[in-house]
Amino acid sequence: MKFELILRALANRRRLQILEWLKEPAANFPPQRDGDLVKDGVCGVLIAQKLGVSQPTASEHLKILSHAGFLKSKRIKQWTFYRRHEPAIQAIKRQLSAKV
């Protein structure tokens, strides 16, 4: 089941773009009032704005990436912040390499 979640997450150009931006959050997003871009992650609102989509649409993309293991989320106040989950991404890369 997990392998299918990974493939679904990677099958969308917007989700791939989110992963690319989150490699270097400080270079791709403006400073945030709450939360450190690198340590805490990027606010979902900023990700939605950069993608040019509604917050619910961005939330769905972020949920798919999180369920597949690519992202970690953290709540600060009423906001959710997202950052790449690098150890999981390395494991996913190994899993993909073994399957393909």
**CA-CA distances (angstroms) from residue 77 to 9, 33, 83, 90?**
27, 11, 17, 30
What is the Cα–Cα distance from 49 to 81, expressed in whole angstroms? 14
pTM score:
0.92
Strand 79-84, strand 42-43: pairing: antiparallel
pLDDT recorded at residue 22: 98
Task: Compute the residue count for the chain.
Answer: 100
pLDDT along the chain (100 residues), means of 10: 86 97 96 92 97 96 96 95 96 84
Domains belonging to the chain, first-starting first, are 2-99 (1.10.10.10)
pLDDT recorded at residue 49: 97
